[in-house]
Amino acid sequence: MSALFTPFALDGLSLPNRIVIAPMCQYSAVDGNAQDWHLIHLGNLALSGAGLLVIEATGVEPEGRITPACLGLWSDANEAALGRVVEGVRKYSDMPLAIQLGHAGRKASSALPWQGGQLLAPEAGGWPTQGPSALPHLPHEPAPRAIDADSLVRIREAFAAAARRAARIGIDCIELHGAHGYLLHQFLSPLSNQRDDAYGGSLENRMRFPLEVFDAVRAAFPAGKPVGMRISATDWVEGGWDLEQSVVLAQALKARGCAFMHVSTGGLSPQQKLVPGPGYQLPFAVRIRQETGMPTIAVGLITEPEQAEEIVARGQADLVGVARCMLYDPRWPWHAAARLGARLTAAPQYWRCLPREHAQLFSGAQVGGR
C-alpha cells in the first residue's frame, strides 16, 4: 500500500490521496474575472488524479492583486466568472477544490512575470501600494502607504466577503496566503512591520492582524469546510521571521480551528539567502507538525514520486504539494501511482489510454468496444 495514495481528511473534507496541487498564478484574468484559460487550465489539472486542487492566489480587493491580470473575488462579476469555471470543472471531476485568498500588500501592482515582474508605475497601469509600514520591498521603489485603522477593518472584511463568495460557488476549502512576502506575511515579519501600535512590535502584536483575518474567514466559511494557511516559515534573513515564530503562529492558529499549515519559505526580502534543492523546505514542515500536531503540506522541489512517498510514509508531513512539475507533467499523479504500485480513479474518457503494463492503474476501469 502506497502511503501517498491513502485517503486523508481535513476537517469534514475527505481527500482520496495526499497529493495537493499547490496554487500557481496564471496572470490571465481581466479585472479579476476568470477567463476561458482558467477553465482549460483548472479542468486539465482536475483530471490528474490528485487529492486536492488549490486555485491560484486570488485578490480580495483590486489593490491586493499581485498584477493587473491576477484573479479576484471581490465583486459579483468576479464571483460569476469563477463560478462558471467551477461549474465547468465539476461536470467532469469530483476532485476537491480549494482557493487561496490573499492580498499582495507592498508587492502589489507588479508587471506580469514575462514582462519583467517589476513594480508598475501608475502611467503603466499600476496603482499605489499599501503595507504594514511605509517600507518598500526594494530600496529604489516608492514606499507603500502605511495601512491605517480603517483600512485594517476594510481589508479584514474583504477577506471575509471573499470567503462567503467562495462558499456560494461551491469551493470546498480556503487557504489564506500568509507567505512569500505578501500582506499577511508583511505583518508577521519585523523586517516589513515596524508599526508602533497594537499591530507591530512584539510577536503577539505582529501576529494580531493575520489572526484577525483568519478568525473572520473562519466565521464566514461554512463549518466543516476547512480553512488553513500557507506561511513562509522563515525569511532566510537574520533578524526576520523565522521557524520559532512560525511554531508560535501555528499554535495560535490551531487554537482557532485552523485545519492545516502549508509550509513554504522566503519571498519577503531581496536579502534572503537560501540554496534551493530537493525538499529544502521540508524540515520546516516537519518541525511545525511535531510541535503542533497540525496537518501539514510540505512543498519545495518535491518532484519525484518516491520522494513524496517517503515524506508521507515517514510521517514528515501529511500532504505533499506539487506545482511546477504539474504544469510540466499534468498526469504526474498517474505516473506516481504507476511507479508506486497504487491505483487511482480517472475519467472514463481516458480509460483506454493506459499502456499494457499499467492496465490495472485505474480503479473500476472497464474498456469495451466493437
Neighbouring-strand partners of residue 298: 263, 320
pLDDT recorded at residue 366 = 75
Per-residue model confidence as pLDDT tens digits over 108-128: 999 999 999 999 999 999 999
Q: What is the mean pLDDT of residues 58-83?
A: 98
182 is catalytic: yes
**What is the three-class DSSP state of 297?**
strand
Q: Which residue has the cell 514606499?
A: 143
pTM of the model: 0.96
pLDDT in tens, 216-248: 999 999 999 999 999 999 999 999 999 999 999
Q: How is 238-260 classified by DSSP, letter by letter? A: TTS--HHHHHHHHHHHHHTT---
What pLDDT score does 359 carry? 87
d(CA 30, CA 146): 28
Q: Which domains does the chain have, with CATH numbers?
A: 3-358 (3.20.20.70)
Which tens digit of pLDDT belongs to each residue from 289-298? 999 999 999 9
Are the beta carbons of 66 and 107 closer than 8 angstroms? yes
Q: 199-217: per-residue pLDDT in tens?
A: 999 999 999 999 999 999 9
The b-or-e profile of 118-129 (16+ CB within 10 A means b, else e) is ebbeeeeebeeb
The predicted structure's pLDDT at residue 369: 66
Residues 348-361: tens digit of each pLDDT: 999 999 998 998 99
- 311-333 pLDDT tens trace: 999 999 999 999 999 999 999 99
Cα dihedral: 114, 231, 195, 251 (round 10): 170
Phi, psi of 116 (to 5 degrees): 110, -30
Mean pLDDT of the chain: 96
Average pLDDT over residues 240-269: 98
Catalytic residue among 182, 199, 328, 350: 182
| Residues 6+ away with beta carbon under 8 Å from 202 | none
> In 3D, which of 204, 194, 202, 258 has the Cα closest to residue 231?
258
Three-class SS state of 37: helix
Using a 10 angstrom Cβ sphere, with 0-12 exposed, 13-18 middle and 19 or more buried, the burial of residue 169 is: buried
